[in-house]
Each structure stands twice: as structure tokens, then as C-alpha cells.
Structure 1
Amino acid sequence: MPEGWVDYYLLSGDPAAPALHFGAPVDRGTLRSSVGDRQRQLAAAGLLPGGTVALRMPPSLDYVVTLLAAWRSGAQVSLLDHRLAPAEIERAVRRLAPQLLVETDHAAVPVIRPQPGGLPAATDHVLIQLSSGSTGPSKVIARTSDDLVRELGCYQALADFPATGERVVLLASMVHVLGLVGGLLHGLHAGIELVVPQRATPHGILAAVAARAAPTTLLGVPFHAELLARLADPPPVPNLVRMVVAGELVRPGVPDAFTTRFGVPLGTMYGMTERGVIATDLTGRLHPALEPVAGTEILVRDGELHLRQDASPYLGDSDPARWSQGLLHTRDAGTLEERTGRVTVLGRRDSQISIGGLKVDLTEVEQALADLPGISEAVVVFADGAIEAYAAAADGSTGEQLRERLAAEMAGYKLPRRIGLLTALPRTATGKVLRDPARLRAAAAGG
């Protein structure tokens, strides 16, 4: 593993400068000292340069310290969401074969567990992540330190992204790419105080924003923006300068609703676990178009967005449907404006289906359903040759009543075969709406 990149890019700077806030402030000097202590603990547990560590820890100072300590030791780190069930963790550990698994016990104390049969790193990747699994099984995605540093450079070059001396209140998961690189690593690299709210309620989030007078950015997923935009009478937060969301398409109307509530823009980003940040509209002026970040080449082939990427981001044999011949296939539909190079993401390519020879865009159906009175959120999928929808209805409507209302908004061949009702849509650990038909059916059935 490359040496020195953690100290140079993430742990340097004024020791007295604020770095993190998990209920209490932590300066950069304290963070650096804590990382050194944890590094010695990992070494005592048998970790050597080129070793492998899996982390299953909630967002906390201990999580950050352990991650940086493992990287500083020259280890390859796999990140597992702490909310996964024990059986899911067991399957992931078998799949990844780490030498050490670091978890927190019931007292939130880190426990380092050597793993029988764990293997040293077979590649020079420093980070292993599992994709969100919103549409099916997770993919094993690997990134090198050079690639992480490249992405940090992309964030540093963005004129309207948080900069030195500012604050970020992080709502996105630090296990996944937006919260990890756009939040934690960029914050450490650029000298930004990263704040994780103690309460993830709307008022808890706004209290974290208002806690210090420094310019503050909210960083999360569209769900968080919708949650805040629904506040009828939010308290004033004059130090809030923007919110930035990524992970899913933002529903029409949400940017305007958010800006009306708070008087600041709702910026958007497009990215992938495999690549990190790809394109942005941080001011909201380009919506729905996005400006590609520096060094990113986007192509459109048969309506699908592709990225130039020399090496496969996947461990093991690559699926040629995902990466081949130097191109990463995003599976997202989109358009590219030749004159400006701006990209517009239209949704998942697999959201465009054919019913009886007629083309249907599931995103269009989903938005029409979500716009019906009384619907707080909705998801539309295609399974077993038919369209299915699931919605959270606040007015007591039945699925058939919703289907009748939807019939007034669009052609009959676009209508879902059935609409299942839930109190809230199931989501992945990153906040994305779950799109696996089997799991949606089970949730609607109460399973």
C-alpha cells in the first residue's frame, strides 16, 4: 500500500483547527494522536502492511480513527454498514475474507476481532465498498489511494463546494461514497469541520447547523431535502449557505420548496460508488443539467451514460455489461449537450421498459404517482412482465383508488398492475429507495 498519503492529505494542518464534531469538538491534533494510538492497537492484533481490515462501526470518532489508522498502517479496508443484520455481516466477511474485523460492542467500545482464514490484500486497492444494493445484490467495488486523491482534487476544484474554515453537517452515511469522500475525506483534506448531528430529526439537523456561526453546508440525499422542505415553520438558520444532495434524482418541485423554506440553493451531484463524484450543479441554476467535474469524460451510447476509466473498479472478473474496453457503463440514461458538455441524468436505464411494444418510462409513472394528493413518496418497478408500484399514502386511500386517480393522469398502458401501500418506503443504508421487487412485496405484505 502507498505510504504517507493519509498523513499528507488527511492529517496535516493546524493541530488546533477543528476537524470533527460527534457531540463534542475534536481538533486535528487530537485526531492525529488518536489515530496513532489506534494504529498501535491494530498492530498488536497482528495487522501488517498489506493486511486487510473490515469495519462495522456506527458513525463516530472511533470509526474515523480506526479507518485512518488502518490506512496509515498500509492496510486494505472494507467498509460494512453497521445497520446490516448479523447474517448479512457474516456473508460479507466470508466474501471479503478480512484478517481483522473491528466492531463496536454494546457499550460502543471498539473490539478488534482476528478472523480465522482472513487473507492479506491481493491488490493495491486501499478501499473496498459494497454498492447500495437498491436494485439487487451488492457489487464489490475497489479503489486505490491514487483514485481517492484524484476525487479529492475534483472536490477541491469545485467553486461552490465547502472550503477551508467552513462547516459541513453530514447526513449521508460515511460508509458510502458521498459521506465518505465528499464529507469525511474532503473535510479533512480541505480543513473543514465535519459535524454529525446527534439527532437526525429536522429540528436536530437544523440545531447542528445553527450551533456555530461559520458558513455551513448540509450534505445528504434527496430524502433529507424533502424532510426539511416539509417543515411548515422552520427556525432561522442564517449560517446555512447551501444544501447538496446526491444518490437519486431529485423529485420535481423539491428544489423550489427547499429554497422557499430556507432561502438557499439545493445543489445536486451525480456520482457512483465506482467513481465518486462525476458531475454537479451546486447552485441549482442548471437543474436538471450538471457540469462534469474536472478530468471526467462522459459519453452517451444508445442513450446510456458511459465514463472513460482505464481499469475496472470491480474486484475479481468484471461483468462486461458494467465495464469493458476502458468504459464504465453507468446503466443510467442521460443526454449530453454538445456545446457545453453538460449532462442530464434521466434515471436508471432499466427504468425504460416496453409494454406490448409501447415504451414506458417508469420514472415518469413514479413521479406522477408521487405527485398525487396525499402521497408522500412512491416507487415504481417492473417485475414478472408488469408494472408494480408502492406508495406511502397519508389520506387512507386504497391502492385501487390511487390507480383510478393515476388513470386520469396518464395512458392506460402505463398504469401499474397494482399499487401496494406502506407507511414508509423501505430504504437502503444510504437512504436510497429500495427497488428490489421481492423485498418491496415483502414489505407491503408486512414480511
Structure 2
Amino acid sequence: MSTIDSPLAAGRHDLPAHGTGWVDDVLLAGPGSETCLVLGAPITRAQLRAEVTSRQARLTDAGLRPGGAIALRLPSSLAYVANLLAAWRIGAQVTLLDHRLSRGEVERALERVGAQFLVQPAAAVVAPLRGFVTVDETVVALPAGRPAPTSHALIQLSSGSTGPSKVIGRTVDDLVAEIERYTRIDGVPRPGERLVLLASMAHVLGLVGGLLYALHAHVRLTLPERMTVGGVLGAITAESTPTTVIGVPVHLEMLMAGRPDGPLSQFVRMTTAGELVRPGVRERFATCYDTVLANMYGMTEVGVIATDLFGAHRPGVRPAPGIDVRVVDGELQVRRPVTPYVGLVDESRWSDGWLRTRDAASLDPVTGLVTIRGRLDSQVSIGGLKVDLTEVEQAILDLPGVTEVVVTFDGGAIEAYTAVEKPWTGPELDAALEDVLAPYKRPLRWQLLERLPRTSSGKVVRDVAVLRRASAGPTPS
């Protein structure tokens, strides 16, 4: 296994919790003429350093100080990258808010984190298919804001796919440790290679696995001009350098809607994370693209936890270097020295140095591979019989014309919120499952929708209340 020769790989973890050192030494160091980002046009390290310095002066003039707190609500852009690194250079705590959040969601988030400043676009951004935008930002002082109450450098809110989001804090040491973890994973892009990023940089996969790792490892980070099949393929074929694409399963399925005009010899692998890939996708992807479909498992609280970047162990994944895991009563737990949560939170999520992932899993004692089987709360009992709702979802997703599904258990009954491309009815779907699932496993109620609601990070929402609001009403079964 190869690793990257860097200060991190050499064990440099003695970086300050605040200040400029880690930003310049870990992320921005390198030849000024080297292209580090491609957002339509190439951006050199010298240009990026100048942009960061400019934003640093602007934020300082606005009143941001070491130990201060700022929130960024910007789309993927040079402005986003520069403001993020500038705020960290100052020594401020940065909260990342997805730019697609509604005004009410932003207000509630700001109330929870207490940021002193908000950086957001000066004008509304309407670019749903853009991979990046050129944006003029404005810095807004928030009267109710307060200095950072903790030493965390980064504050993120969990996706909220299963309920209210959690406030998650990460220190500089924690972020640096994750970047170092990436340098030791076999199969990640290496210096001089390229990374085409489809995942949002406001969330942990795109932020650390994409932006921060690429800057540190001298991997050229490219954002497609358009989030379409043509836009992504155009980004891949723009150069002959070995290229990795990182996204979530929805991006994988988008790419399968088209085919390349010719061979893509530079397309090394497509890495997805965030959700289980539905049945048959791996095979269909292989018929479209002659490349590796890699698998990564992680969470906002930790970052990358386990990987299979060569597609050799599916559905198993191997814990990343430095990650200690165990399975207790069928639940995957990850060793964390301190709680990642900030403020009020369910105390059962972290105790005695172990973080409960709430994911059902098994751990092979011989190979050390972990198999993620879905959410732990997907195990329910019906009439004394155990039912795995993830198994039910996978069976429904395998039916022709079904594009998305969330199966819930509420009021003693299994209910399926299903997005379909063909005119299915509830009875027809039930009949199609007769040879696949026992009667007690099949949904009692069907909710048929054109599409299911998703979080800003691209995950299908699993909150029953949200699903009910999105549904037009039960379809008779």
C-alpha cells in the first residue's frame, strides 16, 4: 500500500487549535505556479493564497477575531473556498450551511450555533445544475451572535435525514487527522492526479475527502461546470491525467443515464458514499463505464471510517488507518476520545469513548471487513417475527420502474414511500413482491410519489413527518 510523503504522514499533529499555521502549512503550501483548483479556469496556489488573503482582510475589517464564530452559506465557488480558509486563518470557528437551505432553516441553524457573522451571496443564486458558480458575497453581522463557546474549528449540522439535525464540532487536530487518514488509504488520488468532485463541499465527504485532501496532497480538484452527464464527462475528459470522481449514489445513477462517446482511459474510479447503492446499479454501471466502482463509509461526526476503493470486497469495507471499530448487539461503534456533539444531544450516542453510529453491521473477525446492513432502527418486530426494513427497501428497488423508496414502520404497519417511473399501483407492487418477500414483510400501505424529498447533502429523507407532508395521500392497497 502506498502513502503520501507529507508532514501529516510523518505524524505532524501538533498544530494549533486556532491561528494561521495549519492553513498555510497543510493546505496552501506548494509551488505558486501549481494548479490546485479548476472552476472553469485553472486556479494556481499563488492565486488561491491571494484570494484567501483578500478575504482574510475583509473578514477582519468586519470584526472577525481569533476565537470568533462565523457561518458560511455559499454555493460551491472560489468565494466559498477563500472565505473558509480565510476564517480558519484568522482562527475563527466556521459553521457550514448548505446554500440550498430555506430562510427558516438558516435562521434556526444560526440561532443554534450563535455565529457572529454570516457570509452569503449578495444576490440570489439560481443555478440548480451548476457544479460551481461565480458569486459576489456579503458579510452580515448578526446582533445575537457570540464568540465561539468551544475550540472547534468546524461546526456542521448533520443531514437530518432521520429527524432533527445534530450540531457536530471538529477541532483542527481532528480535521488534520482525517486528512492524514486519507493519505494512508490505498486507492485515493495521488499527487499530480485529478479529482472531479460532485459531492457538496458543505458536507464532510466533499469538504475533507474532496477539498482539504486535494489541497494537501497536491491533487488537482475539478468541479464540473454543469451537474449533468455531459458536464461530468466533459470534466473527466478535459485532461488525460488519472481521474477519480467522488459523489453520492444519486450522482452514480445520473451518470448511468448516458454513455461516453469513446473510451475513458483516465477515469480511474467512481467513489460513492452516503447511502447504500441500490440493487443492480453496480452491474449496470459496469456496462456503461469501464472503471472501478468504489465504496466509502463515513459520517459527519468522524469523516471517513471505512473504504473499499478497488471494489474487491463489496459489500464489505475495511476500516481506514487509525480507525478502531467494534460491533455491539449488531450496531457498529467507532472509538472517539471525546464526544463530537455540541450542545444538547442524545447522550446515548457517545459514551466511554465509543460513538454509536446507529447503523446495523457485522464485523468479520478474520478479515476485519465491516458490512453495513442499513440503519439499526430498520430492525422491527411484526407479530413476533423480525423484519429488516432495509431488506424490504432493496427488494422494492429491484422492481422495474422503481427509482426511490423509503420503508417505515409506524403504527404497527410497514409503509412504503415509493417513487416510480411507470404507472404502478399499490396492489401491483404487492403482487410483484409475492415471490420475493413473505407476506408479513410486505408493506401494508403504499405512498406513491414522483420523487422523494432529499436532504441538502443528497440523502433521501427518512423522517416520517416530512415524508407524510410530501405524499399526496395513501394509495389504496
- With the shorter chain as reference, the TM-score category is over 0.9
Matches of 2:259 and 2:434, distance apart in 1: 31
Structure 2 partner of 1:2: 18
1:373 aligns with 2:400: yes
Residue 206 of structure 1 deviates from its aligned partner by 0.9
Structure 2 partner of 1:16: 33
Structure 1 partner of 2:130: none
Residue 224 of structure 1 deviates from its aligned partner by 1.2
Structure 2 partner of 1:59: 76
| Letter paired with 1:72 | R
Map residues 21-100 of structure 1 onto 2, 5 A cutoff: 21-100=38-117
Match for residue 295 of structure 1 among 304, 322, 347: 322
Map residues 7-406 of structure 1 onto 2, 5 A cutoff: 7-106=24-123, 108-231=135-258, 235-406=262-433
Matches of 1:318 and 1:56, distance apart in 2: 24
8 Å CA contact retained: 1:255, 1:265: no
Residue 400 of structure 1 deviates from its aligned partner by 2.7
Residue 318 of structure 1 deviates from its aligned partner by 4.6
3-state SS of paired residue (1:442): helix
Deviates more, 1:56-65 or 1:99-108: 99-108
Residue 120 of structure 1 deviates from its aligned partner by 0.5
The alignment-based identity, stated in percent, is: 55
| Letter paired with 2:182 | Y
Matches of 2:199 and 2:310, distance apart in 1: 19
Residue 235 of structure 1 deviates from its aligned partner by 4.7
> Any gaps of 5 or more consecutive residues in structure 1?
none
Matches of 2:141 and 2:370, distance apart in 1: 46
Matches of 2:459 and 2:226, distance apart in 1: 20
8 Å CA contact retained: 2:306, 2:320: yes
Residue 233 of structure 1 deviates from its aligned partner by 6.0
Matches of 1:373 and 1:259, distance apart in 2: 19
8 Å CA contact retained: 2:166, 2:345: no
Can you list the C-alpha shifts for 1:192-251, whole angstroms capped at 9, x where unaligned?
111111111112111111111111111001121122224356553221110001011122
1:420 aligns with 2:447: yes
TM-score normalised over the length of structure 2: 0.91
Can you list the C-alpha shifts for 1:243-291, whole angstroms capped at 9, x where unaligned?
0010111223222222221111100011010000000000001111111
8 Å CA contact retained: 2:396, 2:433: yes
Matches of 1:360 and 1:169, distance apart in 2: 39
Residue 22 of structure 1 deviates from its aligned partner by 1.7
8 Å CA contact retained: 2:87, 2:93: yes
| Letter paired with 1:311 | V
Matches of 1:252 and 1:235, distance apart in 2: 27
TM-score normalised over the length of structure 1: 0.97
Deviates more, 1:406-415 or 1:183-192: 406-415
8 Å CA contact retained: 2:18, 2:67: no
| Letter paired with 2:161 | S
Matches of 1:103 and 1:376, distance apart in 2: 34
Can you list the C-alpha shifts for 1:382-410, whole angstroms capped at 9, x where unaligned?
22322111222222112232122223321
Matches of 1:221 and 1:167, distance apart in 2: 18
3-state SS of paired residue (1:69): helix
> Any gaps of 5 or more consecutive residues in structure 2?
1-16, 125-134
